[in-house]
Every structure is written in structure tokens, then in C-alpha cells.
Structure 1
Amino acid sequence: MRRVFVIGDSISIQYGPYLKDMLADRFGYDRKSGEEAALTNLDNPMGANGGDSSMVLEYLTLEHNHGTRYDILLMNCGLHDIKSSLTDSSKQVPPDDYRSNLQSIAKLAQKMANDVIWIQTTDVVTEIHNARCRSFHRFEVDVLQYNKIADQVWESFKIPRMDLYSFSRAFGTSAYCDHVHFTEEVRRLQAAYITGYLDSRFPTF
């Protein structure tokens, strides 16, 4: 049985239980630990929440130094990178730093895992997000820019990508339960989408 390990933000935490159940008879499942801490505040990444690209790079570096190995590594970061300051609109992780971080993440991940797969960052509806979140802003245009940067990096490293962005966006604004997270039904469908991708890429007989 092949094993899947997930490093991702709160979106992955929320579809995670569905994904684990859907993969149960064909894949082992695990993720960055600390789910209880992560759920205390999904906007402030702790524990199982991978956070921004700097945090993912730091985590992978520590794990690499400990000799950690993965079979199938599913990764995502982006939503925390594009957080914009309310005072000067600066990004938590500027685009050039995001690109550099992803390049370092890719190099490490390919050393540590048999297979690496990137999951695209899900969409932000600017008007919904910024009306409901008062501590920082996010903008749809930044999701597009950072997804494009990620696509370029993964293409250069020949790392495959899952387009969870387009899949989730197709459900429209009713898919959101708050400023950026999804309803239970959409979480279940996201898990089914990822399961289908893994089944097609790693068929079991």
C-alpha cells in the first residue's frame, strides 16, 4: 500500500478527513501533525496548518535534516503568502520570495519523496473575503499571479500539478462558508477530486 503525506494550509485540513476515508483501502494517509492547534484559528497557521511558503520550506528543511522520507508527497502553500497588509498592501511573502521558496521546496521535496504532487491554491473572491476578514486582505488577482508562479516552478522541476483552483471555483460563491473556506459538501467533493487524481496516477490492481 502506497502512503500519501499532506503538507498544506487550512483548506487541506478541512478536506483531509474525507480524503483519508476515500483513500483508506488503497493508500495510507498522514499529514503534518497538530490538527487541534491548527483548528483554534485557521487564519493563524499553527500545527497541522502548513502556512506560507517560508513555513513549508522551514518544515521540510527540519524534516530533511532528521532523515524523513515520504512516498507520495502532496503539497500546497499560497493563501498565507498572499495576505495583504491593511496599512500598506504589502504581501506576507512577496512574489519573488514565493518563487525562490518554491524552488527550494521543490529541490528538497524531490530528495525526500518518491513522488511529489503540487495542489494549486484555491480561489479568493475579493469582495467576500475582504468584507468578512478585518485583520488582512486577500485579492483574487494575487491568487492568479501566485498560481502562475507555482506552475512555472513545478514545470521547470517536472512536478505534476492538480488544478484544485478551477475545480473549486466552478461551484461559485455559494461554495464558501466564510471568507475563504468551503462548505462541508465542497470539502467532500475536493477530496473526491484528489482521490480520483491519485487513483488515475497510481492505479492499484
Structure 2
Amino acid sequence: MYLSYKLAAFLTRCMVRNGSIEDNQYDAYLYCLDYLLELVVYFVTTFLFGLLLGYPLFGILYTLVLFSLKSCCGGIHAPSRLLCTLFSYLCFFAAFGLFSLRHQIPDTAWFFITLACCLVIFFIKDSVSVTREFTKEQKKHQAWHRRLASCICLAIFALSWWFGLDTIYPAVAVCVFIAVFSWLMGLFTTKGDTHDNIQSRDL
């Protein structure tokens, strides 16, 4: 998002000027601050959208679950920040559209969707990202993160299903489905691209 990037750049320049960080650390801090601010803005806006649509809990779950999965799975890459932002919100509304059909879709279907998607996430070999190059140690950590996240999502789904929390388990199912869909799209759309010729961000 443009505003989050500008604010992150301003804060990073301030840290360089007052000696908090070195000049050669500028890019790393800019990336981290931009990502953090973007996450905060996205969390607030999806919560507000969920509130307006009558399901604030969906907005919270969507951001927490999806960002947790996307950080270790990767996803589609957009050619610009604007398209990245637009696609992110398009995914949210598509996810809410699926969530709104929760009473028309049998619980067993939600279960098999969640199980299949969690298995895909668990066995993903590498995350999809052509904007970053990962070391073997980072890849190992990401694999551990993916397996843990998939098990937690499946456990939350099972517990909420057992206790009849019909707002939570369809939301989890939708989130893992969107995460896997984004990973698959990223896998096909970035095939043959490299870290050097793509300068976009994960959606």
C-alpha cells in the first residue's frame, strides 16, 4: 500500500538520521516496517468490512489465518503495489462470498475442504516467492511453520465444528482454501521467473 510504504520510508530515514540504524540497514528496516504497517492497515480494514457486513469475527480470523499461512506459503505476485492491494481486497470479498454460503454447504464438505487444503500446506516443498531468496535454514524454518500452521488450522476447525461454532469453522475452511488457491496461482504464474526479474510483493 502506498501510504504504508511512504510512512515506513519516513520512519526508516528518521532512524538513519538519529543513528538508530546504519545506512546499509535501510532496505531491511524499510521492508519490515512497510510489511508491518501494511498488515496493521489490512487488519483494521478487513475488521471494519467484516463489521459492516455483520461478521467482525470473520474479518479478524481471515487476516490472522491467511497472513499466518501466506507468510510461509507465498502466493501470487502482482506487477504493481496497487494491483497487489486490489487483489488482496478482492480475495477478501471472494472469501466472504464463500463464507456467506456456509449454511448451503454441508459440514462434511467444509471438513474435506479444510482437510485437503491443510494436507497440501503441510506437504508444500517450498514457498512461492520470486522476490526473495531463502537460505536452507530459512526454508527449513518455513517448512516447520507450514506444518505447525496447518495442524493448528485443522485443530481449530475440528474443535469449533465439535462445539457447533458455525461462524468459526467455515471461516477457517475458507481461509485455508484461499491460501492454497493463492499458492497454486503463484506457482503457475511465476514459473520461470527469478528473483532478479520480478520486483513485486506477495499478495
Q: Shorter chain as normaliser: what TM range?
A: under 0.3
More helix, by proportion: 2
TM-score, normalization: structure 1? 0.27
More strand, by proportion: 1
TM-score, normalization: structure 2? 0.28
Tell me: higher relative CO, structure 1 or 2? Use CA pairs within 8 A at least 6 residues apart. 2
